[in-house]
Amino acid sequence: MFRVRTLADALNQDQDNFLLLRLLAASMVIYGHSAAISGNTALPDLFTWLGWGVYSGTLAVNAFFVISGLMITGSYLRRGHLPSFLWARFLRIYPAYAFCLLGSAFLLGAIFTELPLRDYLRATEVMHYVMKNLELGKNLAFNLPGVFTGNQVHGAVNGSIWTLPAEVRMYLWVAIVGVSGILARKYLFNILIVALCVWGLLRPSTIPLIPLPDFVQLAAYFALGAFCFINRQWVYIGWPVVFAASALAWLLRDSGLYPFAMAVALASFVFAFAYNIPWYGYNRFGDYSYGLYLWGFPVQQAIAHHIPGISSLANALIAWPLALLLAAFSWYAIEKPMLSLKSLPRKVYSRLKSTMHRHRKGVGSTAEDQPLPGFD
């Protein structure tokens, strides 16, 4: 548990705890949002109170992007095929997201709107909420007519979705770097990462596909995860690394180097948690983290509407199991069935290749008709 090894060695083990880590991160987002949603700040955020200078929701989102950078980079390199990669990313993001948007607009909104139901359903803002957010552009729609207008977070139906456009843009960056061949060449990739870091420090508003200032930090954490995957042979992980990195971050917390030290500390924690905890019991369950992240905020708003003045901790504790139920439904009814279609481009490619081979040779399928290694 306390051994230090390279990330490359850890990636070769049979199991990890990323499912549990993502669930905890989504839960931290609910906890982090509870003060603003409830309007009760009597209890300070735990991480702010401990003096880390960042609240739990930000830590959780940054952890999500480190994990995503690691996994999405590895996903592209394993597949090596752009249509397959993009199809897999579409299936992971859009079905559950569309379900949440439609459920929020036509069920949650219809229940909580102050307007007569007929007027609400006829309002153009309802469908605008769904369609505008499906675009995943930089200007999302957060309000529905007459919904949660009396809450502390006035009218916002789902504040958590602001990170999804940034996530999708990171997928596009991986696709571009992958197609160009840079992703498969360590030295070129490292040069690109250094160049992007300098670019982000000097002129962050001009980085392609990063249209909003808030996306820059998320992109940096994603890049850190990708950097660790590409350089996994010399990235060392383990709880001693976490303790050393955290101590360094603490010592630098009042300096300009703190954001960088904190990023290293958080990434080291992510990898140690995933690979150095010798218990994988949670992996028997589904991947509820995405659904929990999507549904946490709307459920918290609904609770704040019904129980005004409730404490922030009570808001989080009541919202968490309710959001988890919706997340479990999302996983089993939508996400898991959709993710089973990941191999569709491979099957289409294999069938087309087989057909072309038979047409040329006039014989049945052979081993040559099988997909290329890594096309998964």
- 227-270 pLDDT per residue, tens: 999 999 999 999 999 999 999 999 999 999 999 999 999 999 99
What is the tens place of the pLDDT at every residue in 174-200? 999 999 999 999 999 999 999 999 999
Residue 69, domain extent: 5-342
Does the pLDDT value for residue 374 go beyond 50? Answer: no
Residues 283 and 250 in one domain: yes
Residues 314 and 368 in one domain: no
Amino acid in the structure at residue 235: V
Q: Which two tokens stand for residue 119?
A: 């007027």
Residues 265 and 368 in one domain: no
Residues 256 and 371 in one domain: no
* Residue 370: per-residue pLDDT: 29
Whole-number Å distance between alpha carbons of 270 and 253: 20
Does the pLDDT value for residue 365 go beyond 90? Answer: no
Question: Using H for helix, E for strand and C for coil, what is the string for 161-215?
Answer: HHHHHHHHHHHHHHHHHHHCCHHHCHHHHHHHHHHHHHHHHHCHHHCCCCCCHHH
Residues 25 and 96 in one domain: yes
Going by pLDDT thresholds of 50, 70 and 90, the confidence category of residue 223 is very high
Residues 349 and 204 in one domain: no
Residues 240 and 107 in one domain: yes
Residues 254 and 359 in one domain: no
Q: Which helix (H) or strand (E) holds 243?
A: helix 239-251
Residues 368 and 233 in one domain: no
* Residue 372: per-residue pLDDT: 27
Whole-number Å distance between alpha carbons of 209 and 219: 10
Task: Please choose, from the candidates 34, 35, 23, the residue with its C-alpha nearest in 3D space to the C-alpha of residue 60.
Answer: 23
Whole-number Å distance between alpha carbons of 236 and 241: 7
What is the tens place of the pLDDT at every residue in 292-346? 999 999 999 999 999 998 999 999 999 999 999 999 999 999 999 999 998 887 6
Residues 215 and 348 in one domain: no
- Mean pLDDT calculated for residue range 117-133: 97
Residues 336 and 349 in one domain: no
The number of folded domains in the chain is 2
Residues 353 and 366 in one domain: yes
Output 253-260 pairs: Cβ under 8 A, ≥24 positions apart.
253/51, 253/52, 253/53, 258/53
